[in-house]
Structure formats: C-alpha cells, structure tokens
C-alpha cells in the first residue's frame, strides 16, 4: 500500500483514501528521493524517533518551543560551516569523538563574548589534568592580560637552545614580578611563595628560598634563606650560608663552615662556631657564645656568661656576668664584671670586678676588686688587693693591700710590700 495523490485521480480524495494515507505513516517508510519542506510557517514535526540514513539539510533542528531531546551521532565528525552565499560555504571548525571516547575540537573553545561568570570545572567536578603546549597560559581581566605562565621558560641563545623551567610574569602597576612557588632544577618548592633552585634543594617554609646543593628551609622557617652546601634554615627570617651551617633561631644567621646559630637574633660565622644564646655572636674557629648578649671570637673561645666577651685562643667566661677574657687560655668563672688578659690567667670563685693581666696569675676566693699583673702572682680572698711583678702572694683577709716585686707575700690588711724576698 502506498500513498494516494489527488493529482493522480484528478479528483478530491474520498474518506477511505484519506484514512489509508494516514495508515501509511503508522509504520516505518523510506524516502528515496528528497523531502523538501519550505515556507516560513512549515515544519516537519516528529513525536517519536526520526532516523536519517543519508544527509539532512536544515536551517534549524528544533525550536525554542520544540527543542530536540537527544541527538545520537556515530563516532565520526560533526563539521561546522559558515555559508558565505546561498550557493557556497566554508568549513570553520569540527567536533569529533575518537574511538577512545575523547572529544577533539578543531577550533578555539570560547565562552560567550564578555562572559565573566562561567567556569571550566568546579570545586567538586574538576579536571584531573590539564595539558598545554609550550605557549603561554594567560590570565586576563577587563583591562586585558594581567599575567602569563610560559611553559618551557626562556632560553639563552648563547648558552642553551633548549628552554627549561617556567616563567611567571605578573603585571602590578606596570611592574613585572614573579609570584608563586618555583623549583628550578631537581629541587622542590613546597612552601607558599617559595623558591628552590640548584640540585636537591627543598624549600618547605612559606616565602623561603633554598639554593645550592641539598639545602633546606623547614616548614617552621618562614621568610628564611638557605644557600651553599647542605645548609639548613629552620628559624623564621633565618639565613644559613656556606657549607653545613645551621640557622635554627628566629632572625639568626649562620655562615662559613659547620657553624650553628641556635639563639634568637644570633650570629655564627667562621668554622665550627656556635651561637646558642639569644642575641649572641660567635666567630672564628670552634667558638661558642652561650650567654645572652655574649660574644666569642678567635679559636676555641667560650662565652658562657651573660653579656660576656671572650676573644683569642681558648679563653672562657663561665657564669660571669659582663666579664671579658682575652688572650690565650684565660678563665673567668663565677666572677661578674671581671677582666682577664694575657696568657693562662684565672679569675674564679666570686671575685667580682677583678682584673688580671700577664701570665699565669690567679685571683680567687671572693677577691672582689682585686688586681694582679705580671707572672705567677696570686690574690686569694683579699678584696681590693693589688699584686704585680713575679710570684707575689696576697693571702686571705689582706684587704686593700699591695705587693709588688719578686716573691713578696702579704698576710694582713692594708699592708704594702715591695722588692725582693731574700
């Protein structure tokens, strides 16, 4: 049964012929020629599925009031053309689904013009990875491009034609700057705004900088800097440089070889020196500044007293406030405001304010304000006593006494002896 046309009968269709025509469309039928529907108010409306095995040419598929629910396309290409005239057109882009299910777009993928609200992905529906060529990733705003990330970095044609790394150029009030965390070479930049460069460096602290070989800025080391060979900065605003130096205290600075700055505001420099107290300074070789506000310099000097100062070779201030030892092997212990200079001198046992100079002199036993100078002089428990020369002795209780010369001895207070013991 086929369609009955009144033009074939040269008369109007009767009721049976019209019913038969409607019955024809209740099944599936093929159109071997062209089906042309023209006119401004004409349309082909299908309430079921509409199958096309050939080519469909239409100015629109569906309308705002009658949208198409689904369009099923085989794994081929949807091509978009721009009609330049009624009889000619040009391909502008295409959309292809390859056998793996990936969508291939042959043109720019753009949002509506002037859009500032649409996003690519969301907080819960995000893309796993974004692959971009060596061109720039540009960030734009109402005034145009404000920043760019260029993959591959910038090569120096005089040194290397193979660019590496990444360049981030941000424009702020006309100034170009780098922002973000960057790792250059086989290094890692973990902290916000951190920079790691060199070989096997790690910048964990926010806004920290690690450079050189195996240098580290720890998570606690905000705004810190480690440079050189195996240096470590673990304090905020700390700076470690040189070889195997450690800047652990906040605002500390360690430089040289194997120096350690542990105290807040401490500074260690030289080789194997340590500034362990707050506001301390150790410099030279194997010096230690432990007391708060202390300073040790030279070789093997140890400033343990608060606000004490040691300099020279193996000089020591031990629990002695504001004392000063300089020279070689001089010791001030438990004696505040004392001063020892020369070689192998000692001020010990609460001899506050004592002064010794020369070689192998000893002041001890609460000999406050005592003064010994020369060689092998001894003041034992005599306040304000004075011994000078060679091997003079002022014994306990001989306050305000004076012995000078060669091997003289005083046993009583306010005494004075000078010359040579016969």
pTM of the complete model: 0.65
Domain membership of residue 350 (yes or no) is yes
Domain assignment present for 307: no
In sequence order, which residues have a C-beta less than 8 Å from that of residue 301 and are 6 or more positions away?
284, 287, 288, 310, 311, 312, 313, 314, 315, 316, 325
pLDDT tens digit string along 141-194? 666 666 666 655 544 444 444 444 455 555 555 555 555 678 888 999 888 888
Please give the Cα distance from 216 to 227 (Å, whole number). Answer: 8
**Residue 372 or 80, more confident:** 372
Task: Report CA 282 to chain centroid distance, whole Å.
Answer: 28
Q: Which residue has the tokens 């500032």?
A: 116
Q: Is residue 253 part of a domain?
A: no
C-alpha Rg value of the chain to the nearest Å: 46
139-142 CB contacts, 8 Å cutoff, 24+ apart: 142/116
Instruction: Tell me, yes or no, whether 366 lies in a domain.
Output: yes
Rounded Cα distance, 336 and 117, in Å:
73
Q: Examine residue 421 and state whether it is found in any structural domain, yes or no.
A: yes
77-85 vs 88-97, strand pairing mode: antiparallel
Residue 216 pLDDT: 97
- Residue 247 scores a pLDDT above 80: yes
The pLDDT value recorded for residue 156 is 43
d(CA 166, CA 176): 15
β-pair type (378-380, 393-394)? parallel
* DSSP β-ladder status, 281-285 and 188-189: unpaired
Smallest CA-to-CA distance from 384 within 375, 392, 394 is with 394
d(CA 422, CA 419): 9
Tell whether the model's pLDDT for residue 37 goes beyond 50: yes
Residue 326 lies in a domain: no
The total number of structural domains in the chain stands at 2
Residue-number span of the structural domain to which 400 is assigned? 345-422
Q: DSSP character for 207?
A: T
Q: Which residue has the tokens 């629990």?
A: 319
Mean pLDDT of 22-35: 64
Least confident of 53-62, 194-203, 252-261: 53-62
The torsion region of residue 116 among left (phi > 0), alpha (psi -120 to 50) and beta comes to alpha
- pLDDT of 196 above 70: yes
With pLDDT > 70 as the criterion, what percentage of the chain qualifies?
Answer: 75
The answer to whether residue 422 scores a pLDDT higher than 50 is no
Question: What is the average pLDDT across 35-43?
Answer: 60
**Residue 175 corresponds to which tokens in the numbers above?**
């100034």
Question: Which residue, among 98, 93, 127, has the nearest Cα to 110 in the 3D structure?
Answer: 93
Give the DSSP H or E segment for 253. strand 253-254
Question: Please, what is the average pLDDT of the chain?
Answer: 84
Higher-confidence residue of 422 and 187: namely 187
> What is the spatial distance between Cα 404 and Cα 416, in angstroms, rounded to a whole number?
8
User: For residue 282, what pLDDT is reported?
Assistant: 98
Q: pLDDT tens for residues 388-418?
A: 999 999 999 999 999 999 999 999 999 999 9
Model pLDDT, residue 72: 72
- Round to whole Å and give the CA distance between 40 and 290: 96
Residue 303: closest CA among 372, 271, 314, 342: 314
Most confident range, picked from 45-54, 106-115, 411-420: 411-420
The better pLDDT of the pair 57, 326 is held by 326
- Domain assignment present for 271: no
Domain membership flag for residue 9? yes
Least confident window among 25-29, 249-253, 257-261: 25-29
Segment among 20-29, 41-50, 336-345 with least mean pLDDT: 41-50
DSSP string, 64-129: SSS--S-----SSEEEEEEEEETTEEEEEEEEEE-TTS-EEESS----STT--S--SS-SSS--S-
Q: How far is CA 92 from CA 89, 95, 103, 110, 217, in A?
A: 9, 11, 17, 14, 53
Residue 158, pLDDT score: 47
């Amino acid at each position: 049964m086929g369609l009955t046309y009144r033009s074939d009968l040269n008369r109007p269709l009767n009721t049976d012929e019209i019913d038969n025509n409607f019955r024809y469309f209740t099944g599936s039928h093929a159109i071997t020629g062209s089906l042309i529907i023209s006119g401004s108010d004409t349309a082909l409306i299908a309430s079921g599925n509409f199958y096309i095995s050939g080519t469909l040419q239409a100015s629109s598929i569906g309308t705002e009031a009658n949208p198409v629910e689904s369009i099923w396309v085989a794994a081929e290409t949807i091509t978009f053309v721009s009609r330049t005239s009624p009889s000619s057109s040009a391909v502008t882009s295409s959309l292809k689904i390859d056998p793996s299910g990936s969508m291939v777009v042959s043109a720019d993928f753009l949002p509506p013009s002037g859009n500032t609200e649409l996003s690519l992905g969301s907080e819960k529906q995000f893309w796993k990875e974004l692959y971009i060529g060596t061109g720039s990733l540009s960030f734009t705003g109402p005034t145009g491009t404000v920043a760019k990330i260029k993959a591959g970095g910038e090569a120096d044609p005089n040194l290397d034609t193979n660019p590496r790394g990444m360049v981030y150029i941000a424009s702020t009030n006309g100034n170009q700057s780098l922002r973000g965390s960057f790792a250059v070479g086989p290094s890692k930049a973990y902290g916000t705004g951190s920079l790691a460069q060199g070989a096997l460096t790690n910048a964990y602290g926010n806004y920290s900088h690690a450079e050189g070989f195996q240098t580290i800025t720890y998570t606690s080391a905000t705004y810190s800097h480690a440079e050189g060979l195996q240096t470590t900065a673990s304090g905020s605003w700390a700076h470690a440089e040189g070889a195997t130096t450690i800047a652990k205290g906040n605002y500390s600075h360690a430089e040289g070889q194997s120096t350690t700055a542990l105290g807040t505001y401490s500074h260690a420099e030289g080789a194997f020196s340590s500034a362990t107290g707050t506001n301390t300074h150790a410099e030279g070789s194997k010096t230690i500044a432990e007391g708060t506000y202390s300073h040790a310099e030279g070789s093997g000097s140890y400033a343990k007293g608060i606000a004490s100062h040691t300099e020279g070779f193996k000089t020591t201030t031990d629990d002695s406030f504001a004392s000063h030892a300089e020279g070689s092997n001089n010791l001030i212990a438990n004696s505040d405001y004392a001063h020892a200079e020369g070689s192998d001198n000692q001020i010990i046992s609460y001899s506050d304010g004592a002064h010794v100079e020369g070689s192998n002199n000893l002041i001890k036993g609460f000999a406050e304000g005592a003064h010994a100078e020369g060689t092998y002089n001894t003041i034992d428990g005599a306040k304000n006593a004075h011994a000078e020369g060679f091997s003079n002795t002022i014994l306990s209780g001989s306050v305000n006494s004076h012995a000078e010369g060669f091997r003289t001895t005083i046993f009583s207070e306010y005494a004075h002896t000078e010359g040579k013991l016969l």
